[in-house]
Amino acid sequence: MTEEAKLRELICVLAKSMFDRGLTGGSTGNISARTSDGGLLVSPTGTSFGRLDPAKLSRFDACGTLISGDEPTKEMPLHTAFYDTRSTAGAVVHLHSCHSVALSMMPDVDAENFLPHLTPYGIMKLSRVKLLPFFMPGDPAMGDAVRGLAGKRSAVMLANHGPIVAGKDIEAACNAVEELEDTAKLAMLTRGLSPRALSDAQVKEVITKFNVEWEA
């Protein structure tokens, strides 16, 4: 099996795992990964994470031209914005995960630091998550908003829509977006209960110990 064939299989396996655990439902969500030649493999538009076909993934060459597979997700501008602004991005995942979407609707969330510091793992895997405003699905302005961050964030939350996360490879991106949803779930479960979050000193210690990229 070639390297690309293995990557195609891995994308579909990880997508199905997230679908099976209810992290994104129906035909929602999209996923992409860099190929060794600088191209991209992308989930096609209107497809379910539970039933992706490795042979039908949209294949782009290094110049951004679709060369095989089905029509790509209509949210390609989100993906290309991360790849174009973050040199370390090897994969991008976008979900419609319920708890993170619910948290994005709350009136008192911090747009510059969307996730509360309830555990060290959200900090380690995601750093600071930027909450972006609501955009109509497929609006290219979503990509413009990500580009406006100039590569300083690996994860953003689209209000009333869902998270999108870039990682060094497909497994890292999937792990990070799952951590985002888990942290949002904790935030919603403990909302109004005055949970004991990490202190500023503890957050700084996590950032230092695990060399977290922390954009002020």
Q: Which two tokens stand for residue 160?
A: 């009333």
Task: Give the CB-side neighbour count of residue 134, counting CA atoms within 13 A.
Answer: 6
Cα torsion 40, 28, 103, 120: sign: negative
User: How many secondary structure helices (H) and strands (E) does the chain include?
Assistant: 7, 8
Query: In this structure, which amino acid lies at residue 102?
Result: A
Q: Which two tokens stand for residue 142?
A: 């979503």
Which candidate in 48, 117, 121, 185 is catalytic? 121
121 classed as catalytic: yes
Q: How far is Cα 166 from Cα 155, in angstroms, rounded to an integer?
A: 6
Residue 107 CB contacts under 8 Å (≥ 6 apart), including other chains: none
**What positions carry a catalytic annotation?**
121
